[in-house]
A and B are shown apart, each in its own frame.
Chain A
Amino acid sequence: MKAKKIFQVFSLALVLLGYFSEKAFGLQSHAIPAEGQYSHQIGHLFFLLSLVVFAFWLQKTRLVKLTGWRFIQWSCFLFILWNMDAIAGHEVELWLSESLFIGPPSARRLLVDNRSLLPYFYYFLKMDHLLCVPAMVLLCLGLKKLASDSSGESS
């Protein structure tokens, strides 16, 4: 009975809303290009925060006393840095003008001058693999160490 009453009130509210509304769109438009950029940056931020939480828990649970988990924590730190690098890189890329990129596609160059450090900054930020590849290496080392420790325990 109670559910029936709620349904009746809800239906009445919908009818009244339709009657008095001037416009009602079924779908919201996502045509703005910056929306993708924001989503991507938020994704990086989410990934970064989750890695911070992970590293924090590894510390709190004292798992880092074990070499394997310590490697994984260091891997987290590098991934956090990589995410920060990526976020910054994506932002800087937006601020740079297309005219700064010169030359044929096979030999492109970046114009720099002493008036702005932004192109330099972008140049180094673009080499983000120097952070994520070592992060993956540390992850692999950590896993390997955990595997060897696990073998030692079981034996």
Chain B
Amino acid sequence: MSLPLSLVETVDMAGSAAMILLSLLAVYQALTLRRKDPQNIMWTYLVWFCSGLLVFAFSRSLGHIVKHLLLSANQGRVWALIKPVSGSLNTITFVIAGAITLFFSRVYRIYQRMLLDKETIEKAHREIAELNIDLEKKVQVRTRELSASEEKYRRVFEKSKDMLFICDLQGTILDMNPSGIEILELEGPDDFLGRNLFQDFFPEVETAEALKKELKEKGFLKDAELILQTPKGKRHTVLFSGTMTQREDGRPVGFEGIVKDITVRKEMESQLMQTDKLASLGQLSAGLAHEINNPLGLVLGYTRLVLKETDPSAPSIPDLKVIEKHALNCKKIVEQLLKFSRATSTTKSAVDLNQLIREVITVVEHKFSMEKVRIDTRLSPDLPMTMADGDKISQVLMNILINACQAIEGAGVINVSSLWKREDSLIRITIEDTGGGIPPEILPKIFDPFFTTKPVGMGTGLGLAVSYGIIKDHSGRIRVESTPGQGSRFIVELPLIESAETEAG
């Protein structure tokens, strides 16, 4: 009995072919897997495993196919030559495939380690990302808070009506608010850069140095009354408060502070003091004038009576005339004192001030021209009529013009202008000369009675005092601005008082 080997051979041939095809398919699928995730070492391992099987399948299956083909072709002797080679190759491929297979545990450990590392990295990354988000949120909140705080303080800095400054230890200004720029009359928002607070804005170097020294020694300074001078020459009376800024280690870095402009307040105080002083003087003058006026009237009356009854050839006549002359002088002074103290009656009527100015100028023009002083006028054509005592206002204008002419040494110009300030309902008359100006120290005294800079006998010192009294009697204001060497400017401001007729019209 025998069994056909054809079945075995058929299975062998078909199986060999199938092995080749399936091993190719396995390699292809393993490569597909790896392509999807090239970082996964397990897929790389499967590629190697399938490749090992491919080599094995090719070697074995081709060997089997060749064997059958040669035996079918009665080439058994050829096969006998090839057989050991084929067998050896098969052995090698088993070993290769086996060796690759054995590596699985090692590869798996690496894979696990990679997974663990990946997880650790991802966890760390997540934590960092969370921390980062948290940090970003915190930074955002802090930035917003800081920004709001910065904005708040910047607003205080920018909107403050007082000058705020920051400067370094030498006094170089680093920052300054708009009020500071305005007070110091700087050209633009950055004009303070490079300027030195102590060197450029203090008229007296000694004061600036003393201030800096005190700031450095005490570390602060509070409400020091100082004079600042702008680059254009304008002076401001200010209250200076400053502190010295320091680093954490205590090293000084500079100064910062606040400067309050009190120029207007000081002027008002000064004017108030002047007004009070003049009011007191007025009361004193009025009382004095009244007390002197009566005995003086008796002296003058009796002197004239004695003169009338005495023979003109009598030797006492010249003496009596001297008495009369000086009594008249005294009477004149008393009258002026009464005018200054506003004790005299005022007769007001509707007056065209422009016309009044022209009339006064006509009176003095010739005399002034002899002294090479020209009078220029710039009178407002729309000046309204106002209720005033024309004679007294003329006297005021005359006094100021004469003073102006006397202040000009040699040739010069007096500018007279009038202006209707509708919004304030007042008329302004300005008399400006090109004389030597009035020294600042005597400026507050010029309206005082009997104050004069003229030589004895040349003036009574009552001209401006009387003018002051007349203008006050008209509810007006008289003031003077003067820059030594550049002339003086007298400003008379009278309120518009309309007459009943004008109002009715």
Chain A residues near B (Cβ < 8 Å): 36, 39-40, 43-44, 46-51, 53-54, 57-58, 61, 101-103, 105-113, 119-120, 123, 126-130, 132-133, 136-137, 139-140, 143-144, 146-147, 150-151, 154
Contacts and interface: CB of A to CB of B under 8 A. Distances in A.
A71 B452 CA distance: 128
Contacts of B37: 150, 154
B16 interface: yes
A136 B26 contact: yes
A95 to B, nearest CB: 17
A20 to B, nearest CB: 38
Given A47-B101, A50-B101, A136 B84 contact: no
B33 A105 contact: no
B36 A133 contact: no
Given A46-B94, A132-B15, A150-B37, A54 B87 contact: no
Nearest to B14: A129
A130 B15 contact: yes
B90 A40 contact: yes
B91 A43 contact: yes
Contacts of A103: 2
Q: Main secondary structure on chain A at its contact with chain B?
A: helix
Contacts of B46: 143, 146
Interface residues of B, number: 50
B33 A43 contact: no
Interface stretch (B71-79, B438-446, B453-461): B71-79
B179 interface: no
A143 B29 contact: yes
Given A109-B5, A143-B50, 8 more contacts: A39-B88, A46-B98, A103-B2, A108-B5, A109-B4, A123-B8, A133-B15, A147-B36
5 contacts: A36-B88, A46-B98, A119-B3, A127-B12, A132-B15
Contact of B71 (A102, A105, A120, A150): A105
B3 A50 contact: no
A102 B2 contact: yes
Contacts of A120: 3
Given A40-B91, A43-B94, A143 B8 contact: no
B164 interface: no
Contacts of B90: 40, 43
A130 B315 CA distance: 181
B6 interface: yes
B173 interface: no
B72 A136 contact: no
A66 to B, nearest CB: 11
What 8 A-B pairs have minimum CB-CB distances, sorted nearest first? Answer: A129-B15, A136-B22, A143-B29, A50-B98, A43-B94, A109-B2, A50-B101, A47-B98
Nearest to A108: B5
B357 to A, nearest CB: 103
B19 A126 contact: no
Nearest to B23: A136
A121 to B, nearest CB: 12
A136 B36 CA distance: 22
A150 B43 CA distance: 11
B337 to A, nearest CB: 114
Nearest to B1: A112
A110 B9 CA distance: 12
Contacts of B22: 133, 136-137, 139-140
A47 B4 contact: no
Contact of A129 (B11, B95, B102): B11
A139 B104 contact: no
Given A36-B88, A43-B94, A143-B50, A129 B16 contact: yes
